[in-house]
Amino acid sequence: MDAILQVNNLTKHYPSFTLDHVTFDLPKGAIMGLIGENGAGKSTTINAILNLIHKDEGSVTFWGEELSSSKQLKEDIGVVFDGINFYETLTPAKVAKISAAAYKQWDESLFQDYIKRFELPTDKEIKTLSKGMKMKLSIAVALSHHPKLLILDEATSGLDPVMRDEILDVFMDFVQDEEHSIIMSSHISTDLEKIADYITFIHQGKVLFCKSKDELRYNYGIIRCGAALFEAIDKEDILTYRKDDYQWNVLVADKEKARRKYKNAVVDNATIDDILLLYVKGEQAK
């Protein structure tokens, strides 16, 4: 596996929160979704990856290099945060001029293509644009200096479903050559179910798992059962569980095995939201 991004034992201590030895690799040509509840550590992870905050432990490398060791990495990494990072009095046209001075690889014609595609005005101040239009501008800028890696923090928030779908198509086009990659945090699990190849789940500052989306989609399941059957389930089969009124919901890593083993139980497919909710709200088997 050729990794574009390698995160190893990334740790950051705050008085009330610790990002605790976060480790994962992002393969070339892949899209990784970063999920977790609010405050889980997703944005802290992204900020530490980008050297925007000091790391207490661990290492981050891009194509085997640290971010501070190569000026070229600034060209090769496109970043979009949840919120505009340009002065609100600038226009998209002025943002383009600033970006052209900042990036050797800036492609003005590509930027204009995205401006047209996203239906953005070039002469209106950013402060007059909607949140969705600001996000589209940020995405256009990030893509227009020909990065090889996109790092996106809630980049589809604030977009209506039609535009979100179009942006997701842009992201999938970006990785089609299998040389580019994307890591994106998102609260919108349906976006990740559409485009992600891998899901990294951060909970209370720790990585609970980093798995392929297909493994989660095709293997994971939820046993829905009453108290008697719940008591009969082998503890080693239970990843996490939650009692909901008169029903027990039990997350398992192999739904087909569960269907064979517990024939009287209903075993449903598990969505990313289901998995997230059961890990966050559920309990571990003792």
Q: What's the pLDDT tens digit per position in 138-176?
A: 999 999 999 999 999 988 887 888 888 989 999 999 999
pLDDT at 248: 93
pLDDT at 187: 85
Instruction: Please state, in angstroms and rounded to a whole number, the distance separating the CA atoms of residues 126 and 206.
Output: 37
Q: Under a CB-based contact definition with an 8 Å cutoff, are residues 167 and 138 in contact?
A: no
Residue 244: beta bridge partners?
247
pLDDT at 84: 72
Angle at 101 between CA 100 and CA 105, to 5 degrees: 50
DSSP helix/strand/coil, 21 = strand
Token pair of 136, please? 């589209």
Instruction: Please state, in angstroms and rounded to a whole number, the distance separating the CA atoms of residues 40 and 42.
Output: 6
Mean pLDDT, rounded, of the chain: 92
Q: How confident is the model at residue 54 (pLDDT cuts 50, 70, 90)?
A: very high
The stretch 41-65 carries a mean pLDDT of 93
pLDDT at 264: 86
Q: Under a CB-based contact definition with an 8 Å cutoff, are residues 209 and 201 in contact?
A: yes
Instruction: Please state, in angstroms and rounded to a whole number, the distance separating the CA atoms of residues 226 and 223.
Output: 10
Token pair of 99, please? 């970006």
Instruction: Please state, in angstroms and rounded to a whole number, the distance separating the CA atoms of residues 183 and 147.
Output: 13
- 228-275 pLDDT per residue, tens: 999 999 999 999 999 988 899 999 999 999 999 998 889 999 999 999
Q: Look at residue 92 and tell me whether its pLDDT is greater than 90.
A: yes
Instruction: Please state, in angstroms and rounded to a whole number, the distance separating the CA atoms of residues 155 and 167.
Output: 9
pLDDT at 156: 85
Cα separation of the two ends of the chain = 36
Greatest mean pLDDT among 18-22, 175-179, 278-282: 18-22
Cβ neighbour number for residue 26 with a 10 Å cutoff: 25
Q: How confident is the model at residue 286 (pLDDT cuts 50, 70, 90)?
A: low
Instruction: For residue 81, give the nearest of 53, 119, 46, 55 by alpha carbon.
Output: 46
Length of the chain: 286
pTM of the model: 0.90
Q: Look at residue 1 and tell me whether its pLDDT is greater than 70.
A: no
Instruction: For residue 56, give the nearest of 15, 23, 14, 16 by alpha carbon.
Output: 14
Can you spell out the DSSP letters for 65-111? B-GGG-THHHHHEEEE-SS--S-TT--HHHHHHHHHHH-TT--HHHH
Which of 61-70, 78-87, 202-211 bottoms out in mean pLDDT, i.e. has the lowest? 78-87
Can you spell out the DSSP letters for 110-177? HHHHHHHHTT--SSS-GGGS-HHHHHHHHHHHHHTT--SEEEEESTTTT--HHHHHHHHHHHHHHTTT
H/E element, 201: strand 198-203
Residue 78: beta bridge partners?
150
pLDDT at 132: 85
pLDDT at 87: 86
